[in-house]
Amino acid sequence: MKIYLIKKLFLLIPLLIGVTSLTFVLTKSLPGDPVLNMVGERAQPEVIDKIRKELGSDRNIFIQYVGYIKLLTKGEFGRSYYTNRNVFDDLLLKLPNTLKLALGAMLIAIPLGLLFGFVCAYKRGTITDGLISSLSVTGLSIPVFWSGLLIMLFLSLRLKLLPPSGTGDIRFLILPSITLALPAIATLTRVTRTTLVEIFGSPFVTAVRAKGITELRINFFHVFKNGLIPLITVIGLDFGSYLNGAVLTETIFGWDGIGRFTMEGIIKRDYPVIMGCIIVGTIIFVFVNLFVDILYHYFDPRIRLYEKSR
């Protein structure tokens, strides 16, 4: 277990170098000159040069990258070209909001997804199964930004139940969480169904049935319990889709998190902001995956035994 953990952590180093250089190259080759955006088209060339020197964007690209990495290790992500605020501070400020949103979405998605998947698997082959399965494919096909707008239209603008947009207490959190949860419910339903149906074919289920245990008990205590382990992975990996969806959902609902911050950075060509957002997003993604991996190892005795026997 320890060796496995160390190995995994060691693998993170090339990954992080890859991620930072990729984001660095990406943002450096952006169209549009931020210095010109700052001072306007008619500024004196000397002023432009002076600002370039201050920002260090006149130097060799490799030196710029090394400097960037040095700063990154100190937690310094650079300053926004517009607000002149430290990007890292802003990210720390906005991160809790995105996490709240992701948590809200998970709280909705996990119970519903598991429930629907379980019902599908238990009633497999029936109309109920067919109906829920088709609904879950539909859920996967609806664009988040559209479902978000429709939810906003009906629940907020028409029925006036909740505020349409903004950042604040739980009332503001409900609509974006529902929006973000919809595709996650669909995915989880699908995967739960497949996983449980697969387990149903295994011999131990026949053995349990031979003992005379009721179908519902077999389904719940034996099949479902065994299915939970692989499902943990799916739930964890789905976290990545929350990050993806957050850019759209936060933009629509005006939720002040990292997703909207990314979008604002893109619109204003604010390189440090974009780079910071992508790096933080990726780091969260990578660490969640690592955490899920470890959890999986912890929960599944088969893997632990396999590791020991080697």
Partner 1 sequence: MKKAGKISITLLFFISLLSFSAPLISPYDPNKIDLDSIKEPPSLQHIFGTDNKGRDIFSRILYGGKISISVAIVAAFLSMGIGLIVGLCSGYFGGKIDTCIMAIVDLILSFPAFLLAIGITVVLPPGIYTVMMAIAAVGWTSFARLIRGHILTIKETTFVEAAKALGCSRIRILFVHLMPQCVPLLLVMTGLKLGSYILTEASLSFLGLGAQPPTATWGSMVSANRAYISTAPWMILFPGLMIAITALCFNALGDALRDRYDLKIKW
Place of tokens 């992508």: 278
CA 12 to chain centre: 18
CB atoms within 10 A of CB 112: 17
Residue 208 binds partner 1 (CB under 8 A): no
CB 259 within 8 A of CB 94: no
Residues 43 and 51: their CA atoms lie apart, in Å, by 11
Residue 137 binds partner 1 (CB under 8 A): yes
Residue 178 binds partner 1 (CB under 8 A): no
Residue 282 binds partner 1 (CB under 8 A): yes
Q: Which range touches partner 1 (CB under 8 A), out of 62-70, 119-127, 213-221, 285-293?
A: 285-293
CB 175 within 8 A of CB 253: yes
Q: Which two tokens stand for residue 107?
A: 């709280």
Among 50, 23, 9, 60, which residue's Cα sits nearest to residue 266? 23
CB 250 within 8 A of CB 101: yes
Q: Which range touches partner 1 (CB under 8 A), out of 52-60, 80-88, 165-173, 239-247?
A: 239-247
- Exposed / middle / buried, residue 286 (Cβ in 10 Å: 0-12, 13-18, 19+): middle
Q: State which of positions 250-269 bind partner 1 (CB under 8 A).
A: 251-252, 262-263, 266-267
- The one among 1, 30, 43, 305 contacting partner 1 by CB under 8 A: 30
Binding residues for partner 1, how many (CB under 8 A)?
Answer: 49
Q: Which two tokens stand for residue 197?
A: 């149906």
Residue 15 binds partner 1 (CB under 8 A): yes
Residue 149 binds partner 1 (CB under 8 A): yes
Residue 143 binds partner 1 (CB under 8 A): yes
Q: Which two tokens stand for residue 245?
A: 């969806």
Query: What is the gyration radius of the CA atoms in the chain, in angstroms?
Result: 24
Residue 9 binds partner 1 (CB under 8 A): no
The sign of the dihedral angle between the CA atoms of 21, 26, 31, 37 is negative
Residues 114 and 126: their CA atoms lie apart, in Å, by 18
State in angstroms the smallest separation of the CB of 252 from partner 1. 8
State in angstroms the smallest separation of the CB of 281 from partner 1. 5
Q: Which residue number, 160 or 211, has a Cβ lying nearer to partner 1?
A: 160
State in angstroms the smallest separation of the CB of 28 from partner 1. 9
State in angstroms the smallest separation of the CB of 211 from partner 1. 30
Q: Which range touches partner 1 (CB under 8 A), out of 2-10, 39-47, 172-180, 238-246?
A: 238-246
CA 285 to chain centre: 6
Residue ranges in contact with partner 1 by CB under 8 A: 14-15, 18-19, 22-23, 26-27, 29-31, 134, 137-138, 140-146, 149-150, 152-153, 157-158, 191, 194, 240, 243-245, 247-248, 251-252, 262-263, 266-267, 274, 277-278, 281-282, 285-286, 289
